[in-house]
Structure formats: structure tokens, C-alpha cells
Amino acid sequence: MNDEWICGRLGEDEPWALGAVNTPVFENSVFTFASGDELGAAIRDEDERYVYWRGTNPTVDVAQRKLAALERGERAKCFGSGMGAISATISSLVSAGDHVLVLGAVYGPTTQFLRYLEKFGVTHTHVDDLAGCDSAIRASTRLLYFESPSYMAYAIVDIAEVTAWARERGLVTVMDNTWSTPLFQKPLTLGVDLVVHSLSKYIGGHSDLVGGVVIGPARLVRPIALTEYQLFGAAMSPHDAAKVIKGLRTLPVRMAAHQERGLAVAAFLKGHPAVRAVNHPGLPDHPGHAIARRQMSGFSSLFSIELATDERQQVSIFLDKLRHFRIGVSWGGFESLVNAPALSTEESVRATMGIPVGLARLSVGLEPAETLIEDLGQALDALAG
């Protein structure tokens, strides 16, 4: 089966749908049984059987089947947020005394969660590359966590190389694949053990849901579903699952449009004198472009630029001059968004992460590329002038 068929049809022809063209939303919190023995059997297998909303749900199951198939994974478990999926996954894999390696820049709240785990005796070390991994690995290291492209800098990790290194040392690998979606990159096929996504971004696609998912082999996903998913309470609602299903139907079309517009905007910015650097792995001169072309089939439209300034006020002027780019966090919806860490992140945190003052993150939406280019041009010209 191909990805477009998975996005549009897989799991949507179940008998219980009664021919409905849209997957029904099962709102009920409780499912009942014909006997006490049947209830007991279901409770013992709550990841597979419908018992209570906090276990699983037919609508959520359809979303999970689609997402697992897209990533070429055996199982998927959806959560009420991306951080719900990330925190449950990490918690399932580590215990007191364990150590986690974090390769490259990752989503800020992921780092915050790892710091939170320190009070339970779980430590972590951030490293920049495999040489850093070699230096930082310990006898207690259990997990290697990374993103590719990386957070804010959009550096590329050679996934096959990293997973081979980790496998030789008995480490479990977890990768956040939200940037690419499963359409443009399939980390499980490159050796990653578990993949996580924020479903709030491109997969949902309309800035109207919050959700997350972990995907991988049943031997790793099932324990998360039976323990952390149940105990942490970050259950996905069937209404959000229905939005995921609808978002997936148009994902191939939307991602093609995001890629086209993102590359057009990035190419324009590359030539503007008020821009010091453009961090987009789809550009031929990006340091990781060759690796990206090898392990990815396309590029999304989220990237960063470094303005030719080291003044916070100039960054603020740039954002305020924009008319079509809206100022806000998140990304992956119809609307184009801009955010600048210098204006939204504590200076000490930004400095620790190595983020320059002039960095701005652009999420290129589905508005006409020429409109977005004109908007960016007039805002940048105000700086250059």
C-alpha cells in the first residue's frame, strides 16, 4: 500500500462505520460487556480491547493504524499532546540511575522534561555529534534521543550512522520526526527504535488540535500503552483523533504545497542583504543537504533565518513590520507564522542553546508564495534601510 492510500483510506472501511464516509466519533467514556468474565479479559488487555476512554477507542484506533502504517511501524499509540507522547516514551525507557544522551538541539520542553527527571535519579548529557557521544556515553546510558532536522538550527543527523552506533552499544534510539512527517522521512526504516510526533503540526494541519504519537515495534510501544499512557492520563480524545484522520486525508497535497512555498521563500531570503544565514536543509548549500537528500524524500516549510543584526530591537522591528506572517508559536497549519527566540526565550536559556540574537523561525503556510515573499521583503528592507 502507498502512503496516499494509507492517508486517505486505511482503516476507514470498518463494519462498525456502517458505510459512513467519515470515521464515526465514539464519544462514550465507557464500554460495557455481556459478562463479568468478558470484562475481566478486556481489562487484562486494555490496549487491544475497548474498556474506558483512557485505554483506547475505535476512533483513536483508526488514527493509530494510519500513523503506524505511514511510519512502517508495527504499533502506534496516540496521546493528548506531543509532550504527552515524549514524556511517556522517555519514562518507559529509563529508571533511577540511568543516563540519557541527547544529540543535537531538541525541542525545549523535551529538555525541560529531562531536567525534571533529574530528581528521580535520571541524568542526561547534550552532545553535538557522534564524537561527543563517544566522550559522553557511560555504563548507565540507556537512551539516545534526537531530532533531524534539529530544533531551530535545522541541522541534519545521519540517521543510519547514529542508529548503527547506538545499536552497537545497546542503546535504544528515539527520534522526533515531526518536521518531516512520515511522508518525507521514515526513521524506523533507517534503524531508529521509536519515533515520536506532535500531531498538532503538519499532520493535523489546521491549528485546531493538540496531540502526539509514539510509533515502533509492539515490544516497545505496548508497555508504554499499558503503563505510562494509562497512569500519566494524557489520553487522546476521539474528537482530536477524528481531526487527525481528516488531516491525514489532505497531508500529501498539503506537504507538496508546503515544500514548494517553503523553498521559494527560502531561496528569496538567501539573496537578501539583511539576512545573514538561511537554515533550510532543502537548499543545496545547506551543510547537511547531501545527507538530507539521501534519507528524506522532501522538505517541509519550517526553517530559520539569522538576521544581519545582533540587536534585539531590530529583531522586534522585523516581526512588527510583517503583515501576512502572524507572530506566534507552533507551526504546520495553513497560516504563516514567525517567532524569534530573542523575544520569547530567557537570555540565559537562549545563550545555553547557542541561538543567536538575530534568529527568527519561519513557518511558511499555504498562502501564495509571492505574497509571503513581498511581505518578508518589505520587513527586511525596513531593517536594511
Residue 214, SS3?
strand
CATH (domain of 186): 3.40.640.10
- pLDDT higher than threshold 90 for residue 308: yes
Same domain, 244 and 256: no
Find the catalytic residue in 47, 66, 107, 375. Answer: 107
The percentage of residues in the chain with a pLDDT greater than 90, rounded to a whole number, is 87
Nearest in space to 208 (alpha carbons), one of 234, 261, 244: 244
Q: Is residue 196 classed exposed, middle or buried when 0-12, 13-18 and 19+ CB atoms within 10 A define those classes?
A: buried
Last residue of a domain, one of 223, 248, 273: 248
- pLDDT higher than threshold 90 for residue 332: yes
- The C-alpha atoms of residue 329 and residue 335 are separated, in whole angstroms, by 12
How high is the pLDDT of residue 352?
A: 64
Same domain, 310 and 346: yes
Same domain, 60 and 185: yes
Chain centre to alpha carbon of residue 114: 17
186 is catalytic: no
Domain containing 357 equals 252-384
Same domain, 135 and 211: yes
Last residue of a domain, one of 248, 279, 297: 248
154 is catalytic: no
Same domain, 45 and 121: yes
Same domain, 39 and 63: yes
- pLDDT higher than threshold 80 for residue 37: yes
Find the catalytic residue in 49, 52, 54, 270. Answer: 54
Q: State pLDDT tens for residues 197-210.
A: 999 999 999 999 99
Q: State pLDDT tens for residues 336-382.
A: 999 999 887 766 566 666 789 999 999 999 999 999 999 999 999 99
How high is the pLDDT of residue 351?
A: 64
Same domain, 33 and 157: yes
Same domain, 214 and 360: no
Q: State pLDDT tens for residues 70-86.
A: 999 999 999 999 999 99
Sheet holding 194-198, edge to edge: 75-79, 212-216, 194-198, 172-176, 141-147, 99-103, 123-127
Find the catalytic residue in 61, 158, 176, 240. Answer: 176
Last residue of a domain, one of 187, 217, 248: 248
> Mean pLDDT for the chain?
95
Same domain, 296 and 341: yes
Same domain, 327 and 239: no
Chain centre to alpha carbon of residue 345: 20
CATH (domain of 280): 3.90.1150.10
Report the number of distinct structural domains present in the chain: 2
Same domain, 190 and 268: no
pTM: 0.95
Find the catalytic residue in 77, 186, 201, 243. Answer: 201
54 is catalytic: yes
176 is catalytic: yes
Same domain, 67 and 122: yes
Q: Amino acid identity, residue 64?
A: Q
